């Protein structure tokens, strides 16, 4: 059973529709990450789930019960925000217990919950301190602790780590992961950070312009993006895109001309492929390898500049004959200079094709690079 479901949720602020019909089913115990550009509606979705914001239409179910009209306190949800305002004049212990004192819990039960949360988050040595006597990471743990003591059925996190420095983020990321494994509670987590999304999520929802573009496991989104937006959003550095045209499309096999790459033949979704359709070829920066002269799939690449970060190298430049800027990523140190020419083989079996008009993936799978025109038919099955 879905632990949390949104059904055709729409939210308007005055005239402006910011959530445009969202459907989402989150399973019990799942860790779901929302990613998407600034202003796409991630925080609004969390606020709608928590009840801090009402919906314009649509329904929300938690544990099978319709809660759209229920108050935030009755939804069994706890939310942790980016700016975790702790009460400065209260100790850590008081900050943790504050939300519980208005409920009808006994003193003993409140103490048990606080001790348990403090142990889980390794806050025991700090219970009597004030927030100003804590580091940023410790304060963030207190904010998470406040959510834990409420024993919610769903946790919502809105960019909880974005105020922390890089090292602390990595540490807190691991701690939230551990917490999730221990509590087995459903969690929804908003982040701008690709690595957080890819490493923490059971499933990622890519949000764009108030809609969910794709909802799936991190690798599914990485390897099988349903459209150009998801392809460009998931993965860092971002996928390279090259414009071209379908020259010949027959029975689900299309020949596509991409400047600099030549004529490429793909099996494609036949409903989307027609002669003359403008497409983009998508190739991730990691899917280019060095090859010797004479490789039939080799393309020429002109280096503009290269950045080496010890074990990795990022190269910026252009595929000869194509105007698009290309980024290459090698998991190694490669010594390169401006104007060097490289011979590369793109891993076209991992490439994607998107229709430019609506960005849809053609579900392309590479067949061959065609050299002589005459042999085009014979090699296609
Ligand atoms: N109370 C409000 N009144 C009017 N418009 C609002 C209100 N709250 C949010 N919006 C608008 O709704 C859209 C979505 O905002 P939201 O805060 O959900 O984005 P977000 O995806 O969380 O962005 P960010 O990554 O910057 O946090 C934005 O265009 C924002 O300006
Ligand atoms: Mg936000």
**What does the pLDDT look like over 66-79, one tens digit per residue?**
999 999 888 989 98
Distance between Cα 17 and ligand 1 center (Å): 11
Work out the average pLDDT over 238-249: 96
Q: How far is CA 10 from CA 24, 59, 204, in A?
A: 12, 9, 20
Task: Tell whether the model's pLDDT for residue 372 goes beyond 70.
Answer: no
Q: Is the CB of 256 under 6 A from ligand 1?
A: no
As a whole-number percent, the residues of the chain with pLDDT over 90 amount to 71
Q: How much is the pLDDT for 371?
A: 54
Give the pLDDT score at 115.
92
C-alpha to C-alpha distance for 373 and 138, rounded to whole angstroms? 66
Q: Is the CB of 206 under 6 A from ligand 1?
A: no
For residues 357-370, average pLDDT: 92
- State the distance from the centre of ligand 1 to the C-alpha of 59, rounded, in angstroms: 20
DSSP assigned state of 14: T
Residue 378 pLDDT level (bands cut at 50, 70, 90): very low
Q: Give me ligand 1 centre to Cα 41, in Å.
A: 6
Nearest residue to 20 (alpha-carbon basis) of 41, 51, 46, 37: 41
Q: Give 237 Cα–ligand 1 centroid separation in angstroms.
A: 26
Chain centroid to CA 129: 36
pLDDT at 354 exceeding the cut of 70 = yes
Cβ–ligand 1 contact at 97 (below 6 Å): no
Domain positions in the chain are 2-232, 238-376
Which residue's CA lies nearest to atom 27 of ligand 1?
38
Please give the residue that has the higher pLDDT: either 45 or 169: 45
Question: From the CA of 50, how far away is ligand 2's center (Å)?
Answer: 14
CA atoms within 13 A on the CB side of 348: 23
pLDDT score of 376 more than 60: no
Nearest ligand to the C-alpha atom of residue 36:
1
Q: Work out which ligand 1 atom sits closest to the CA atom of 41.
A: 18
Q: For 228-243, what is the mean pLDDT?
A: 96
Is the pLDDT score of 258 beyond 60?
A: yes
Helix (H) or strand (E) holding 136: helix 136-148
260 lines ligand 1 (CB under 6 A): no
Q: Is 40 in the pocket of ligand 1 (CB under 6 A)?
A: yes
Of the ranges 53-57, 296-300, 344-348, which one carries the lowest mean pLDDT score?
A: 296-300
Residue 2 banded pLDDT, cuts 50, 70, 90: low
The residue-averaged pLDDT of 216-228 equals 97
- Ligand 1: distance of its center to the CA of 89 in Å? 31
CA dist., res. 381 & res. 378, Å (int): 8
Over 188-240, what HEC string results? EEECCCHHHHHHHCCEEEEEECCEEEEEECHHHHHHCCCEHHHHHHCCCCCCE
For 124, the 3-state DSSP assignment is: helix
CA 45 / ligand 1 centre spacing (Å): 9
Q: What is the CATH number of domain 238-376?
A: 2.40.50.140
Q: List CB contacts of 335: < 8 A, sequence separation 6 or more.
A: 308
Q: Is the CB of 52 under 6 A from ligand 1?
A: no
The per-residue pLDDT for 373 is 44
Q: In what order do the strands lie in the sheet containing 240-250?
A: 352-355, 278-283, 240-250, 253-258, 262-267, 365-370
Summary mean pLDDT of the chain: 91
Q: Over the stretch 59-112, which tens digit does the pLDDT of each residue have?
A: 999 999 999 999 988 898 998 887 778 999 999 999 999 878 777 788 899 999
**pLDDT tens digits, 148-177:** 898 889 999 999 888 778 887 888 888 889
pLDDT value of residue 377: 46
Confidence check: pLDDT of 380 > 50: no
Ligand having the closest approach to the CA of 207: 1
Q: Which fold has domain 2-232?
A: Rossmann fold (3.40.50)
Residue 39 CA, ligand 2 centroid: distance in Å:
7
Residue 47 CA: nearest ligand 1 atom is 18
- For atom 26 of ligand 1, which residue has the closest CA? 38
Residue of 9, 12, 18, 160 to mutate, ligand 1, most atoms within 8 A of C-beta = 18
Q: Which of 13, 36, 38, 194 to mutate to test the pocket of ligand 1 (most atoms within 8 A of CB)?
A: 13
- Describe the chain by its helix, strand, coil percentages, rounded to 5: 25, 35, 35
């Amino acid at each position: 059973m879905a632990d949390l479901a949104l059904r055709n949720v729409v939210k308007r602020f005055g005239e402006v529709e910011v959530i445009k019909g969202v459907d989402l089913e989150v399973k019990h115990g799942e860790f779901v990450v929302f990613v998407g550009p600034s202003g796409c509606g991630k925080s609004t979705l969390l606020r709608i789930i928590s009840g801090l914001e009402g919906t314009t239409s649509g329904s929300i179910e938690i544990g099978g019960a319709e809660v759209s009209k229920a108050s935030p306190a009755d939804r069994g949800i706890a939310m942790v925000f980016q700016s975790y305002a702790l009460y400065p004049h209260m100790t850590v212990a008081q900050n943790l217990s504050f939300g519980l004192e208005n409920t009808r819990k006994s003193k003993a039960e409140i103490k048990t919950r606080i001790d348990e949360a403090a142990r889980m988050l390794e806050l025991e040595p700090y219970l009597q301190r004030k927030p100003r006597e804590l580091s940023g990471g410790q304060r963030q743990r207190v904010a998470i602790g406040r959510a834990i003591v409420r024993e919610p059925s769903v946790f919502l996190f809105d960019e909880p780590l974005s105020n922390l420095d890089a090292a602390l983020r990595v540490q807190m990321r691991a701690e939230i992961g551990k917490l999730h494994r221990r509590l087995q509670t459903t969690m929804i987590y908003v982040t701008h950070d690709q690595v957080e999304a890819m490493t923490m999520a059971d499933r990622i929802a890519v949000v764009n312009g108030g809609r969910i573009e794709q909802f799936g496991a991190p690798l599914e989104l990485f390897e099988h993006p349903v459209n150009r937006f998801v392809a460009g959003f998931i993965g860092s550095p971002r996928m390279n895109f090259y414009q071209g045209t379908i020259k010949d499309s027959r029975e689900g096999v299309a020949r596509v001309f991409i400047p600099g790459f030549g004529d490429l033949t793909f099996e494609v979704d036949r409903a989307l492929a027609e002669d003359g359709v403008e497409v983009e070829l998508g190739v991730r920066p990691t899917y280019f390898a060095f090859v010797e002269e004479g490789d039939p799939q080799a393309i020429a690449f002109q280096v503009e500049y290269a950045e080496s970060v010890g074990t990795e190298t990022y190269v910026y430049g252009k595929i000869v004959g194509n105007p698009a800027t290309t980024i290459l990523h090698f998991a190694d140190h490669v010594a390169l200079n401006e104007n060097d020419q490289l011979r590369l083989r793109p891993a076209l079996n991992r490439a994607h094709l998107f229709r430019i008009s609506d960005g849809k993936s053609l579900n392309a799978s590479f067949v061959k690079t065609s050299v002589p025109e005459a042999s085009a038919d014979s090699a296609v099955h």
